[in-house]
Every structure is written in structure tokens, then in C-alpha cells.
Amino acid sequence: MRKLILLTWTVVLLSSCGNRTGFSQEEGDTLRLKYSSLLSIVRFDGYTEVNIKNPWKEGKVLHTYLLVPREKELPAHHPHGTVIRTPVERAAVFTTVHCALLTTIGHGENIVGVADLQYIKVPYIHEQVKKGRIADCGNGLSPVVEKIIDVKPEVILLSPFENSGGYGKVEDIDIPLVECAEYMENSPLARAEWMKFYGMLFGEEQKTDSLFAEVDKNYRALKEEAAKAGKGRSVLIDKMVGSVWYVPGGHSTIGQMIQDAGAQYPWADDVHSGSVSLPFEAVLEKAGSAEIWLYRYNSDHIQNYQELLSEYRGYQQLQSFADRNVYGCNVEKSLFYEETPFRPDWLLRDFIQIIHPNIPHKAPLRYYQKLNE
């Protein structure tokens, strides 16, 4: 009997030890995220586990990261994931928005390489490239791997795309890839909340937590102000690209922001979180009577109505064009793409000023301006 009891306890102990080969979620401290649907962050003893859900495959994980402080040993028993030592000291950054964010939180000096330099509108980056302190690694889709290796980055920040087929040779150089998938979030604040993850990577968690709290507070106050103002004007977004008009879906960040500004948005009931491609005739039928037209363009000068009309004669059929209620955002001259993903409150303020002209506003428009004749 004593042998049977001893054997039973041995089996129990071995089973218990076997169950502790990795830490379960219950043993960690889960960071509460208010808005993000793609991120989960759990702190364990010695590391932080960050899971990114795959936005294109429901129920699947895009990537798991284990953030381990430099001064600590990685625990012997840990889940599978890409190990990143924090704070990151050297990073290659392939996106303009993340170059801007790192510069904002005081870590521009940690950027040692960039891709698609011609699309990066951050002055600091261009200054450092000219001085030879940041390497221009070429095209983001096929970067010069040798240049990346030369600058010895500890991580590479890049944007994942559905059915992209991977990252080519960059995947073979044994440098952790940080997949910046926040653009697939379903709300402006959910996308902005990812700054907390980047703050963890670069040792600025407190700073990004405070910054996000400010963005969140401002955004919700502006949304409430717009709601109190009542129903705003109807809005049409963007313009033709070739033979197609890419309209922001009702669940896209821009589509939701327009609705948060109190606008009447013709595609509010649309369920897409990205853009919807439509022929001009479909846009004219659904939104031809919209009171305001907001669009983005890239130019070395401010566009006027005649220049816009020369791109596509059909625009003259739009009520907003006839009434001269068109506002353009020149992304060449503004920091629209660099700022708005993590400062949606600034863009929302622009939208509210345009959609609710009767609300008194103190600040001038930051991104959009009314077209001249």
C-alpha cells in the first residue's frame, strides 16, 4: 500500500511539473487594452508576451513576440515566439508613420536604416541620411539586404500585407521582424493604441501610455462636441484613381472618423474595414448630392478647381463641386500619413470644423484646406 501511495504521488508530481513547461495566460498579468482587437499583451516573470492576431485569418495568430529586458536571462520554460531584447537600441524602419512616432517619443536616434526614403516626410530622417547616420536601404518590397546587415539593426519594423508571399530575403538574415499591423484595426483609437506596444519595444512605456491617454481624452471630447452639435453635413471622401474610386468602408478608420465627426456618410452601413472600389457612376448615384467633398492628393502646389476638373471631367456632376465645397489635403506638404495614425484626434478636429461650420473653432485646419478657384 505504501508503494502504491508513493507511486501515486510521484505520478501527480510529474504531471504537475509537466504542466509547467510553459507559463499559462492565468499566471501572467494581462495588460488591459481599451480598443485594440488585434493586440494582446501579458507580462510574465522575466518577459512580456505580445500576440498579434492575424487580421486576415480569423482565429489565427500573425506573430508572437517575447520582449525580454536586456539585463535578464530568458526563462528556461517559455512559449514559442520571436525574442526581442528591450529596450531596442538599433532599428531599421520601413514605414514613414513609425519613423514619425519614434521621432516623436525621442527615439529617432535609434533608427539606423529606412526603406522607401522618397515617401518619408520626416525631416530628421532625411537630415540623418545625408549625414550618413541612417542608411537608405532601398525599396521596401525588395530592400538591399547587404545595407541592412551593415547597420546591424536588432529589429526591422515593417507593414504586413494579405497574400504578400512573405518578406523575401529579409526573412533569411535572422533579424526579428516586427509586423506593424495596426492599420488593420477597426477604429481610429484602436489603431493609435498600438503606440503602447512600440513604447514597450523602445523603453518608453510610460511616455506612450501618457501620450495615448491624451489622444483618447481629446478624441472622445471632440466626438462628444460633434454629437451635441447635431446632424452635420453629408460628406464624400477621396477621388478617382485611374478608372476606380476607392471609397473608405463604413468600418474603416477614416469611415468611422467621419461618422464620429457627426457627418452623414453615404457608406456608413458598409461593413468593409478597408476601401471599396467603385466606378464613378456608382459614387455619383450614391453620393453625388453630398454637401462636402474631402480628398487627398500629392502635389508640389495647392490644387484648384480647374486642375481637379482636368483630371476627370465627371467631377462637375458632383453637387459639392458645383457649390465649391471641396477641401483638399496635400499629403506632399502636410504630415497626414506620418501623424494621423497615432494622432487621430488632430484629424478628427479638422473633420469637425469642416462638417460643423457653426461650431466656434480656435485652431486652424491642420491637414485640409478649401480649394481656390
Dump pLDDT digits (tens) for 222-267: 999 999 999 999 999 999 999 999 999 998 999 999 999 999 999 9
- Where does the pLDDT of residue 74 fall: very low under 50, low under 70, confident under 90, or very high at 90 and above? confident
Sequence-distant contacts of 309-312: CB under 8 A, at least 24 apart: 311/239, 311/240, 312/239, 312/240, 312/280
- Where does the pLDDT of residue 11 fall: very low under 50, low under 70, confident under 90, or very high at 90 and above? very low
Tell whether the model's pLDDT for residue 130 goes beyond 70: yes
pTM of the predicted model as reported, rounded to 2 decimal places: 0.89
pLDDT score of 161:
84
The residues near 43 (Cβ < 8 Å, ≥ 6 apart) are: 28, 29, 30, 31, 49
Give which of 101, 103, 125 is closest to 114, Cα–Cα.
125
pLDDT score of 162:
67
pLDDT score of 105:
97
Q: Which amino acid is at 15?
A: S
Give the whole-number percent of the chain exceeding pLDDT 70: 92
Tell whether the model's pLDDT for residue 362 goes beyond 80: no
Task: Check residues 345 and 28 and name the one with the higher pLDDT.
Answer: 345
Question: Residues 35-70: pLDDT tens digits?
Answer: 999 999 999 999 999 999 999 999 999 999 999 999
Q: Is 185 exposed, middle or buried (0-12, 13-18, 19+ CB in 10 A)?
A: buried
Cα–Cα distances in angstroms (integers) from residue 91 to residues 11, 135, 168, 180, 311, in the given order: 48, 11, 19, 14, 40
pLDDT score of 13:
34
- Where does the pLDDT of residue 1 fall: very low under 50, low under 70, confident under 90, or very high at 90 and above? very low
pLDDT score of 21:
38
d(CA 43, CA 251): 31
pLDDT score of 5:
36
Tell whether the model's pLDDT for residue 164 goes beyond 90: no
Give the whole-number percent of the chain exceeding pLDDT 90: 81
d(CA 21, CA 79): 9
Domains of the chain: 22-86 (no CATH), 230-370 (3.40.50.1980)
Q: Which region among 22-26, 130-134, 281-285 has the lowest average model confidence (pLDDT)? A: 22-26
Question: Residues 264-299: pLDDT tens digits?
Answer: 999 999 998 889 999 999 999 999 999 999 999 999
d(CA 140, CA 156): 11
pLDDT score of 61:
96
pLDDT score of 163:
63
Question: Residues 306-360: pLDDT tens digits?
Answer: 999 999 999 999 999 999 999 999 999 999 999 999 999 999 999 999 999 988 8
346-363 burial, b at 16+ Cβ within 10 Å, e below that, comes to bbbbbbbbbbbeeeeeee
